[in-house]
Amino acid sequence: MLKHKMIFFIIIILFCISQASAQEWYKIYEDAKKDLENCRWESAIESLEKVISKKRKPDLHATTYGVNVIEYLPYMHLGQAYFYLGQYKKALENFQLSENYEVIKQSEPRYALLRSLKNVAQKLSQPSLLVPSEANMAEKDSVLIGLILSNKYSKAINYLQELSGSKNFVPGEILAEKDAIIKTKNTLIAEKDATISFQQQFNQCLETYLTGNYSLAISKFLELQTQYPQNYLINNWIKKIRSELERLNLEEQSSEIEKVVTEKIITKTAAPVFAMQNPATNLQEIRSSKFSIAGVVGDDKGIDHIELTVNGAIFTDQDGNPFKLLPLPEQDPKNLDFKIADIPLQMGKNQITLVAYDIDSLQHSEILPLTVIRKLPIYKTTMFHIISGTLIILIIGIIVISKIIKYRIAIVNRYNPYIAGAPILNEEMFFGREQLLKSIMNTLHHNSLMIYGPRRIGKTSIQHQLKRKLETLKDPEYHYVPIYIDLQGVPEDKFFSSMIEDIVDGCKSYLDNELDLQFHQNNDGYDGRNFSRDLKSLIIHLRSKSTKDLRLVLLMDEVDELNRYSDRVNQRLRSIFMKTFAENLVAVMSGTQIRKKWESEGSPWYNFFEEIEIRPLKREDAISLIKEPVKGIFSYDDLAIEKILHYSERHPYLIQKFCIYAINRIIEAKRRKVTVEDVEAIRKQVMEEKE
């Protein structure tokens, strides 16, 4: 079952990833051409058919992104792929389609290659037109041409030499076509390098124009035109720049051209001239709902104002008045810096028009059209939905699989995290006493405390958790050294020696050298006086280890034992807390009957402690203790939880006892949920152990 679910999620994830890998048409086209070069004919056919479905019409100057153009001849390349595979009829169909569009005729080398391939394919598709010896060579000819067109010239030459040495080799029209193909291929290789060079030169010309060097820009474009006389992009830009020069009353410079920066051109203008900073080009694609325009507009006399229209409508200000940008007093009207923010955009294509007016008596104006295409926000795109869906499915799959794995491990290892009887040392299993611990820690630096309550209410666990928190506490004023002391079973004559032994052991990390303590010299006759001297020496040593105020905290558990000791021992212990060095000493004592014994005025501990009673857990804390330790692996139905709360009276020991037996029971039954029937079945056993 687990294996099937994992396979199912993997299939879904792979499907979503495959959808997310959808490419632009020109990327698919480039992949197809690479497949052709590497003899992967079937893959090339698949890619070319896909790209034709996206863009059917061939184009020698197809725009991909920005001002980048490529040669787009999909039918010719598809015909080539079929030709290499020996499917000559399909090859001829695509060659004819490429010829019908007539775009290829504008490139003589490619058209020559098309005619050559078409001629060979016609002969190979009709063996009856060939003499017998030629018919026998048809398949070999196809292999040879495939090697030539795949740039594998060395292999093609060797293969041709093998054919020349064959007894059946008959030179004829097909061989002539091969020679023509080789020549055409060489021409195409040279043209490919020239195309790369053209793109670089064209970009340089364009950058020159955009900086305002119109004279230098037209000179570069004219020079490029001598190399590519039929390129419509070059011709269009030459016309555009000439119109700009004519309008600005500037002359073309055909020889040595002096660089003319934007500022110098502006000083010669009759009409204003824009130099844009944002957008950098007249076509911009963004995803935001608002757009900002910034730049400089200059004029020889000065700028009067700038107006703006958006999608044919006059742009208005916040008050609904037509927008009109006027030069500020501190600005130079001849070179006016401007910025127009928060222009609202509609989805899709937006036409924005800037119009600058000068201050001439015969007022001139300059119109700058901008096209801004607002695309969908990322979170609304198909790609985002696909990727988000993939991640959600992946996360859900991981969660489900994780739960299944955790459950399997829990069943195999009989996982049961509950603890009954032993103190809770793990913070993750300690529930419902956080506020109590905070209250104790807020009081501890000035007062000793006594916590009391019935057996197995959690007093020992509180002492251990308090020790852990004090050890890690970063208090700015006090340095706490907590020592846990268990008095259960300690006889009266060993009381003080047992106390000092636990204290010294708990302070080991602070003791560089062994202190000269009475405890080390005379353990047998160790009494309250010895304990007082040793404790004083130890406190003095601990003070030297920190600049903060020391608090040695004695966490004394099971202090009911003190009820059995003589008044002399109790008086001696109390007197120690009253000494001068005891300002650095506090105690947290816990017990069951301690309050009843010590509340009388005759007790040496009368009114000595702040008292805190330990009560059963709050309802919400008790529910957390039941559910949280096994969350994600096992669960309880609501009735089962209510029964556990009722029978345990929210005592943490009994809650954990019920949970231990309940989880063991469902593990045996290979179930994941504890029911009310399970609680009733274990009730008798739990209550008997309570007694």
pLDDT band for 644, please (50, 70, 90 cuts): very high
pTM of the model: 0.46
pLDDT digits (tens, 9 = 90+) for 512-567: 777 778 777 766 778 888 888 888 888 888 888 888 899 899 999 988 888 888 88
Domain that holds residue 225: 211-260
**133 or 432: which leads in pLDDT:** 432
How far, in Å, CA of 507 to CA of 513, rounded? Answer: 12
527 and 600 in a common domain: yes
How far, in Å, CA of 229 to CA of 106, rounded? Answer: 12
275 and 256 in a common domain: no
510 and 440 in a common domain: yes
pLDDT digits (tens, 9 = 90+) for 383-395: 888 888 888 998 8
633 and 607 in a common domain: no
282 and 313 in a common domain: yes
Residues in the chain: 691
Measured CA to CA in angstroms, residue 105 lies from 115, 120, 219, 283 at distances of: 10, 19, 30, 31
**563 or 681: which leads in pLDDT:** 681
* Cα dihedral value 563, 565, 566, 568, nearest 10: -100
Average pLDDT on 406-415 reads 68
How high is the pLDDT of residue 84?
A: 77
Considering only CA atoms, which of 106, 108, 119, 107 is closest in space to residue 79? Answer: 119
Total Cβ atoms within 10 A of residue 171:
10
Instruction: Give me the chain's average pLDDT, please.
Output: 78
**162 or 265: which leads in pLDDT:** 162
Is residue 339 within 8 A of residue 296, CB to CB? The reply is no
Is residue 99 within 8 A of residue 114, CB to CB? The reply is yes
Q: Among the three residues 375, 396, 425, which one is the final residue of a domain in this structure?
A: 375
How high is the pLDDT of residue 636?
A: 95
In the sheet that holds 273-278, the strands lie side by side as 273-278, 290-298, 335-344
Give the whole-number percent of the chain exceeding pLDDT 90.
13
624 and 607 in a common domain: no
pLDDT digits (tens, 9 = 90+) for 85-97: 878 888 899 999 9
Q: Where are the beta strands (DSSP E) in 225-322?
A: 273-278, 283-286, 290-298, 303-310, 313-314
Which residue shows structure tokens 């956080």?
Answer: 434
How far, in Å, CA of 228 to CA of 241, rounded? Answer: 18
308 and 215 in a common domain: no
Q: Among the three residues 613, 639, 663, which one is the final residue of a domain in this structure?
A: 613
Helices (H) and strands (E) in the chain, counts: 24, 17
Cα-Cα-Cα-Cα dihedral sign, residues 510, 514, 518, 521? positive
pLDDT at residue 163 is higher than 60:
no
Q: Please report which helix (H) or strand (E) contains residue 352, including its range.
A: strand 348-358
How far, in Å, CA of 104 to CA of 99, rounded? Answer: 7
Average pLDDT on 181-199 reads 59
**214 or 452: which leads in pLDDT:** 452
pLDDT digits (tens, 9 = 90+) for 353-382: 999 998 887 778 888 899 999 988 888 888
Q: For helices 74-84 and 25-37, give the axis angle rounded to 10 degrees.
A: 30
Residue 183 domain flag = no
Instruction: List the CATH number of the domain containing 686.
Output: 1.10.8
Residue 640 domain flag = yes
Which residue shows structure tokens 């905070």?
Answer: 438
Composition of the chain by helix, strand, coil, percent to 5: 55, 15, 30
Write the CB contacts of 153 (distance below 8 Å, at least 6 apart in sequence): 147, 182
490 and 591 in a common domain: yes
**5 or 680: which leads in pLDDT:** 680
* Complete DSSP assignment for 119-135: HHHHHHH-GGGS-HHHH
290 and 256 in a common domain: no
Domains held by the chain: number: 4
Q: Please report which helix (H) or strand (E) contains residue 338, including its range.
A: strand 335-344
Q: Among the three residues 333, 351, 375, which one is the final residue of a domain in this structure?
A: 375
* Cα dihedral value 639, 641, 644, 646, nearest 10: -70
577 and 468 in a common domain: yes
467 and 358 in a common domain: no
How far, in Å, CA of 165 to CA of 140, rounded? Answer: 14
Q: Where are the alpha helices (DSSP H) in 211-276?
A: 214-227, 232-247, 262-267
Write the CB contacts of 300 (distance below 8 Å, at least 6 apart in sequence): 266, 267, 268, 269, 270, 334, 358
* Cα dihedral value 248, 252, 258, 264, nearest 10: 0
Write the CB contacts of 401 (distance below 8 Å, at least 6 apart in sequence): 2, 5, 6, 9
Which residue shows structure tokens 């209510």?
Answer: 642
Residue 575's beta-bridge partner residues?
none
